[in-house]
Amino acid sequence: MKYVAKKVIGAIITLLVVSLLVFLAFAIIPGDPALSRLGTNATESALAAMRERMGLNKPIPVRYLLWLAGIFKGDLGTSYAYEMPVTALIADKMPITITLMIYSLILMLIISVPLGVYASYKEKTAIDRAIQIINQIIMALPPFFSGILITLVFGVGLKFFVPGGFVSIGVNPVRFFKFMFFPALAIALPKSAMILNLLYTSLNGEKKKDYVRTAYSRGNTSNAVFFGHMLKNASMPAITFIGMALADIVAGSIIIEQVFGIPGLGRILLTSIQNRDYPVVLAVIMLIALMVVVTNLAVDVIYKIVDPRIE
Amino acid sequence: MNRKKRSFNFILGTVLLALTLIPALIGLVWTPYDPESMDVANKLAHVSIRHIYGCDNFGRDVFSRIMSGSGITLLIAIGTVACGSIIGTIIGAFTGYFGGMVDTAIMRINDVALAFPSILLALVIISLMGSGKYQVMFALGIAFIPSYARIVRGEYKRIKNLDYVKSAKLAGAGDLRIMFVHILPNTKAVLLSSVMIGFNNAILAEAGLSFLGIGVQPPDASLGRMLSEAQAYLFTNPGYAMFPGITIVMIILGFSLLSKEIG
């Protein structure tokens, strides 16, 4: 319990540091948002009024605290470009991106764990080697290229889905999940290859340890030793990696959303960067940071459950 | 791993890198066609003897563009890794060697930055500075600093308590001399393998940023940029997307096979 509390406090500090750094970065960049909103012909008094309305006339520390307080009230500021609350702008995009992330996480586990265990079980056979070679190639696939390949094979070739034919969950849930399978697969594939590799290596490392020999000598069947003893110990590096992979999944989903034309957080982040719509960029970055920190926290807790020796 | 498999990885890695890096190097001075010259007659032309990888939507020769594009991609990767590893090493050396409050504070910020996917950090920097190849290099370079700082700091923390460092101190060597003349060469093995991995990550990150349209800007070609342009023509000319993609895969695979040998 003390361990969890320590991790939670650490996560909160991390988020505060992120918010401070990101806010500062956007506050000190050159350029006057009021000027860019009103244009160069605006009078000085109109500019001053606009700055007042946008809350830009206060000193930066005050602005930061106000912004931070706003977050707790669910107010992420107002978009410069759309002139509407940021919360309203991203509210319907968040579930899409989160669905994509969870979907690819599940796919990643479904693909990598059984295959890694199987390959290790069949170590030094032809099947093992075939899995290793394919794995090595998939590991080198950038997520957007795996997305393009999947579009090419399953979309253009086999016509399993319509490229760019995103359907929102409210319109047709079945088609939504059917469509999202492919972008999720595109994110999951390269990551699964890495987890497979890690699991395989650590399983093979466990095979040589004393406790495995002891377990065999006590008369356990090889299945019992493999699944009852080794798998749990061998899964530690894989869990660590899954934690890191989650951050990559977040980044990957931003790119994959572009490949498959999914209107999620990635899309709004990119358009806002191009429009220099900083309140939106700030909000999306903070949301992503929140997701990364929360998933890392979850991984730390799972770690502790799997291996209680960890301090 | 047995010896035979080792040499196989080494040969395959070298071949893959030769196939991609040599054209990239030649592409710095010569390409079969001007990578930017447009030719309406050859719009989206398929693979042929004249255009071995076909042509893009403006009739530009895809092979020539890959040659010059991989050059830009590699230059960015080199710049990124150089920036990240040099600054990261300096930060890691000072914090690891001296320790104390500053170390704790910097490493806290470092951990935060590490938890962030580097491409996102680069996104933030690019949204502040605008896009273009130098901005990408700078943004990714900064985004790569934390991981090097962390690795180097760990090494310095370990090595500074070894006997040879203590005797150097007794012999009257100054802190800076110990840090960069005595300790630094001994971090070589760790640093080298992380530079190789960093190189791959930099190529992936650049390609990702350019794919999103906020990396390398036209008329410069880059592998990621070509892929994103090619995406609209998957139906009419799939080769246009395949060749830049395969080139990226070959570079990444080549580097990771070689880094296995070195690591």
* Domain region containing B47: 2-262
- Give chain B's domain count: 1
Given CB atoms, is A254 within the 8 Å cutoff of chain B? yes
**Per-residue pLDDT at A228 exceeds 80:** no
pLDDT, position B77: 92
Q: What is the spatial distance between Cα B52 and Cα A107, in angstroms, rounded to a whole number?
A: 37
| pLDDT of the residue at B81 | 93
What count of CB pairs under 8 Å joins A to B? 111
Judge: A258–B212 Cβ closer than 8 Å, yes or no. yes
pLDDT at B210: 87
Q: Do B116 and A247 touch (CB under 8 A)?
A: yes
DSSP state, residue B181? I
A168 inside domain? yes
pLDDT value of residue B5: 59
DSSP letter for each residue of A223-251 = HIIIIIIIHHHHHHHHHHHHHHHHHHHHH
Task: Say whether pLDDT at B4 is over 70.
Answer: no
> How far away is chain B from the Cα of A143, in angstroms, using its nearest Cα?
8
Unique residue bearing structure tokens 């307080």? A69
Of B116, B207, B242, the CB nearest to A289: B116
Residue A128 has pLDDT above 90, yes or no: no
Least confident of A258-267, A284-293, B119-128: B119-128
What confidence tier does A310 reach under pLDDT thresholds 50, 70, 90?
Answer: low
Residue A221 lies in a domain: yes
What are A59-73's pLDDT values in tens digits? 778 888 888 888 888
Give the confidence band of B263 by pLDDT, cuts at 50, 70, 90: low
Q: Which of A21-30, B133-142, B160-169 has the lowest mean pLDDT?
A: A21-30
Tell me whether residues B208 and A22 touch, CB distance under 8 A. no
pLDDT over 70 percentage in chain B:
97
Q: How confident is the model over B63-99, as pLDDT tens digits?
A: 888 888 888 888 899 999 999 999 999 999 999 888 8
Residue A159 distance to chain B (closest CA, Å): 12
CA-nearest residue of chain A to B107? A14
Q: Is residue A194 part of a domain?
A: yes
Q: Does a structural domain hold residue A45? A: no
For an interface test with B, the pick among A20, A23, A145, A300 (most B C-beta atoms closer than 10 Å) comes out as A145
* Number of domains observed in the structure of chain A: 1
Q: What is the mean pLDDT of residues A147-161?
A: 86
* Residue A130, domain CATH: 1.10.3720.10
Does A286 lie at the interface with B, CB-CB under 8 angstroms? Answer: no
Residue A254 belongs to what domain range?
93-277
Residue A288, in any domain of the structure: no
- Using the Cβ of B9 and the Cβ atoms of chain A, whether some distance falls under 8 Å is answered with no
In this prediction, residue B84 carries a pLDDT of: 92
The sign one gets for the Cα dihedral B161, B162, B163, B167 is negative
- Among the partner residues A13, A14, A145, nearest to B248 by beta-carbon distance: A145
Residue A101, chain B, CB below 8 Å: the answer is no
Query: pLDDT above 90 covers what percent of chain A?
Result: 3
- Overall average pLDDT of the A236-259 stretch: 80
pLDDT, greater one: A296 or A183: A183
Quick check: A25 and B117 CB within 8 A?
Answer: no
Question: Contacts of residue A278 in chain B, CB cutoff 8 Å?
Answer: 127
What confidence score (pLDDT) does residue B1 get? Answer: 47
Structure tokens at A61: 């520390």
For the whole prediction, is pTM greater than 0.90?
Answer: no
Residue A72 lies in a domain: no
Between positions 163 and 222 of A, the ones with CB within 8 A of B are 163
- Residue B96, domain CATH: 1.10.3720.10
Residue burial B24-44, b: 16+ Cβ < 10 Å; e: rest:
beebeeebebebeeeeeebbb
List the one residue out of B194, B178, B186 whose CA is nearest residue B97: B178
Backbone angles phi, psi at A85, to 5 degrees: -60, 140
Residue A101 lies in a domain: yes
Question: Is A26 part of any domain?
Answer: no
